[in-house]
Amino acid sequence: MKNDMVQKLSAVMLCVICIFFIGTGIYIILDARTMYQESLKPLATNVKPRYEAFKEGYDLAHTFFILGAGALITLLLLPRLQSISFGSFNVSLKDVQARVDTLTELQNELQQLINQIGGGKKADAETYDRVKENVSKSRFEISKEEKKGEFPDDPQKGKWGGKSNSRTRELTAIVKKSTLPDLYVVHLIVRSTDKNDPLTGTVYFHLHNTFINQNPAIIAQNNKAELKLSMVWGAFTVGVEADNSTTQLELDLAELPNAPDEFKSR
């Protein structure tokens, strides 16, 4: 439905552009013709006929006619046009609306996540500080409902197939000590192992439930999707969904051979 609306809107815009270019070309020709005829009047006998004005007008009108014809051809080919390529630059028109929708969702999600605690006409600074402290503590507590399952302290464990490789997709991680005390930086990367099957679209990461945003969505760029977590206390299992959720990956950070022992033991 949305794709049809985008296609119709594009068609209307191309029609307007086409009419503008052709109309402008006709106006320029008529104007150049008027200027030429004015130079031929008896009052202008001492003035040479302005042939150059007529010629320049036709040349400029010709340019506008070409632009109008280009817009018309694009309009006719629009239903069949799937992509636009200029050398190494390629844009898939078929995925444009999907990408716009994804960006809209991400923007909405971000705006909700960055909101601070607020509201309440009678709350004072002391009340807000107490509420924020309680919320901060609760973020690091696993609820009874979440504890139900095979791995209560690692909620993503076993949910995403248990493998970090699937077909041409691979999930890897790099763990480094943070400049902040007791914390680590975790760099998660999902990439394609086959250049003929590039990673595109949105990749969904599923993290430990102590993170504020447990399911960040990252748009793949340059054949990979990267997520950098700058304040991580200890190891956990990461789940990933890619290729419109047809690919699932899973990686337990505690099993990384090059990760710090302290990080893996937590």
- For the stretch 146-196, pLDDT in tens is 545 566 789 999 999 999 999 999 999 999 998 988 899 999 999 999 989
Mean pLDDT across 119-134:
66
pLDDT at 147: 47
Provide DSSP, 173-237: EEEEE-SSTT-EEEEEEEEES-TTS---SEEEEE--TTSSSSS-EEE-BTTEEEEEEEEE-S--E
Where among 61, 81, 101 does a domain terminate?
A: 81
pLDDT at 219: 84
On the CB side of 191, CA atoms within 13 Å amount to 11
In a domain, 15, yes or no: yes
pLDDT tens-digit readout, 34-85:
766 666 565 545 555 555 655 666 666 667 667 767 766 766 665 555 555 5
In a domain, 127, yes or no: no
CA distance 13 to 24: 16
Residue 159 shares a structural domain with residue 260: yes
Choice between 163 and 128, residue whose per-residue pLDDT is larger: 163
Given a cut of 60, whether residue 202 has pLDDT beyond it is yes
Where among 65, 81, 97 does a domain terminate?
A: 81
In a domain, 228, yes or no: yes
Number of structural domains (the chain) is 2
Q: Which residues pair with 147 in a beta bridge?
A: none
Residue 76 shares a structural domain with residue 172: no
Whether the pTM exceeds 0.85: the reply is no
Greatest mean pLDDT range, 32-36, 124-128, 239-243: 239-243
Give the pair of three-digit tokens for residue 92: 């898939």
In a domain, 46, yes or no: yes
- 194 is in which domain, residue-wise? 155-265
In a domain, 128, yes or no: no
- Sign, CA torsion 215/220/226/230: negative
In a domain, 142, yes or no: no
In a domain, 124, yes or no: no
Read off the pLDDT band of 246 (50, 70, 90).
very high
In this structure, what CATH number is given to the domain that contains residue 200? 2.60.40
CA distance 146 to 203: 24
Where among 50, 81, 112 does a domain terminate?
A: 81
Q: Which residue in the block uniquely carries the two structure tokens 């006719």?
A: 76
Q: Which residues contact 255 (CB under 8 A, 6 or more apart)?
A: 264
Residue 161 shares a structural domain with residue 258: yes
Helices (H), the chain: 2-38, 51-77, 96-113, 125-138, 144-147, 261-265
Give the single-character DSSP code of 42. G
